[in-house]
Amino acid sequence: MSFADLKRKSQNNFATLTKELEKANSSSSADERFWKPSVDAAGNGFAVIRFLPAPEGEDVPWAKLYSHAFQGPGGWYIENSLTTIGGKDPVGEINRRLWNSGSDADKETARKQKRKLSYYANIYVVSDKANPENEGKVFLYKFGKKIFDKIMAAMQPEFEDETPINPFDMWEGANFKLKITNVAGYWNYDKSEFAAPAALSADDSQLESIWKSEHSLAAFTAADNFKSYEELEERLNLVLGVTQTPAAARAKVARPTLDEEIEDEEFTAPAPRREPALPKVAVAAGVDEDEDDALSYFARLAEED
């Protein structure tokens, strides 16, 4: 390229570099294995995805993970819950005390500290007009209870005139039309639905290539993805102000950005019992609270006393 060409293309070069810089800045902290839908200025979005079967060497095509995300006097507590793998968790034990205290204020604190439920699955992006570069690729997708309920409804339909399908099957499954609407400032998935069953592709070699591109799901619930009870308890005490929180430790805990839709548990009240209230906490902003999920998590904890 001559110097004259360099001069003539300088503006185009600048525009190209600017786009690359924006791309680098936007993805610097993102996990590129994950796909996330996009919405327009009105908060509406649409994409077509296909849930994929379990990856090679694994049996279940999704992973289920409980976590906590809330703020106390000592900063943010953002940790995976040991209840995911059947263990006792320090937040659950404190929440049991709060819920049993008989105090409405304590119950509200327990609600803000309750578990959040997330699911993970491998997907193939069929159509994503907002981000066409994602089409034809395999990603991990993190979603909440509402979408999982739609998967379960497809597998176990409510009425006898409906035929069950396996949404994770490459040959007899179905594409999922993800429809996002803005309801009271939150992402809503109620209009999302499965299309008619059809093979993802007629070419088995292509399907095999897609399957071999999947990411591990077992890693999300592997033991090394969880801190020990003692480590979690130490962090929780710092966040709640039970012990003094060093300024350096607080500075390292940034405010999180959570998905717009994660499971929010409702509580079943056990017998009242008075105990001292613990410090107030704040729940992460931007969380779509799914109050129709009336889980008995705290009722079961109360029964263990």
The answer to which of 65-69, 112-116, 184-188, 249-253 has the lowest mean pLDDT is: 249-253
Q: Which of 122, 70, 75, 91 is nearest to 258 (CA)?
A: 70
**Mean pLDDT for the stretch of residues 10-34:** 64
**Mean pLDDT for the stretch of residues 255-278:** 40
215 contact partners, CB below 8 Å, separation of at least 6: 33, 55, 122, 138, 140
Segments forming the whole domain that contains residue 159: 32-305
When divided into structural domains, the chain yields a total of: 1
pLDDT for residue 30? 79
Phi, psi dihedrals of residue 208, rounded to the nearest 5°: -65, -40
- Let me know if residue 12 belongs to a domain: no
DSSP secondary structure letters along 216-266? PSGGGGSGGGS--HHHHHHHHHHHHTSSPPPHHHHHT-PPP---SEEEE--
Longest dimension (CA), the chain: 83
pLDDT band at 147 (very low <50, low <70, confident <90, very high): very high
Q: Work out the percent of the chain whose per-residue pLDDT is above 90.
A: 68
- Let me know if residue 4 belongs to a domain: no
Name which residue leads in pLDDT, 173 or 21.
173
- Let me know if residue 6 belongs to a domain: no
- Let me know if residue 266 belongs to a domain: yes
Residue 169 predicted with pLDDT over 60? yes
Name which residue leads in pLDDT, 252 or 61.
61
pLDDT band at 2 (very low <50, low <70, confident <90, very high): low
HSE toward the beta carbon, residue 256, CA cutoff 13 A: 18
CATH code of 87's domain: 3.90.198.10
Q: Per the structure block, which two tokens stand in for 9?
A: 């293309």
- Let me know if residue 237 belongs to a domain: yes
**The whole model's pTM is what?**
0.74
Determine contact, residues 141/49, Cβ cutoff 8 Å. yes
pLDDT band at 113 (very low <50, low <70, confident <90, very high): very high
**Mean pLDDT for the stretch of residues 181-193:** 95
